[in-house]
Amino acid sequence: MPKDIPVEDIAWYMGTLIREDKILGLGQSQSTKEEIQRAHAVIPITAIQNEYSLMEQIFEKDVMPICEKLGIGFVPFSPLASGFISGKYKADKTYTGDDVRRVITRFSKENVLANQPLLDLITSFANQKGATPTQISLAWMLHKKDFIVPIPGARKPERIQENLDAANVNLTYDEFNQIEAELVKIKIHGNRTDKDIAKLTHMI
């Protein structure tokens, strides 16, 4: 959300467009609990788009509960942590140009190595379920809450199919709870995407 414009003003204008049948609903991105409540008091919000993944769960604390309470959809962007969770990016890989991984600190050599326990956890479950780490990550998210609709990357046809097939990976409650229990033991090294991405505009 733009920080220099009151969320109430944005909601009011967007509400006008909704009433004129020019748009179907109002969404916010990277919003806080307070911003959601303030805007929703003006016009019902349809969805919130914030970063969320096995590597970034900060919004479970207050944003997701308020979405559930108010009947607002939660749309996680970067649900695979810019591909880190796929396990395809090794510590010795370098990034150039406008590749966002160039500035996301989780992709530094040191942090890739330090975050290996998370990949080990996901890979273990992937092997048990005959799935990929990507599919386990998305299946975990879909199991979490029924108002969560992740939007993974869709640049390549094979990745789209892999993502869609995650819907066929059914985690049992025991498996889901095992993942949850292990996650709290794992420390994530490096910043989430939105904390690093602003740097990229100053580098290209």
The CA angle 96-114-150, to the nearest 5 degrees, is: 70
SS3 44: coil
Instruction: Tell me: pLDDT of 200 over 50.
Output: no
Band of residue 194 on the pLDDT scale cut at 50, 70, 90: low
Tokens of 92: 């010795």
Number of Cβ within a 10 Å radius of residue 94:
9
pLDDT at 155: 83
pTM score, whole prediction? 0.86
Task: Tell me the pLDDT tens digit for each residue of 119-147.
Answer: 999 999 999 999 999 999 999 999 999 99
Domain boundaries, given as residue ranges, for the chain: 50-202
Rounded distance, CA 91 to CA 193, Å?
18
Task: Tell me the pLDDT tens digit for each residue of 80-89.
Answer: 998 899 888 8
Superfamily of domain 50-202: NADP-dependent oxidoreductase domain (3.20.20.100)
3-state helix, strand, coil in the chain (%, to 5): 50, 10, 40
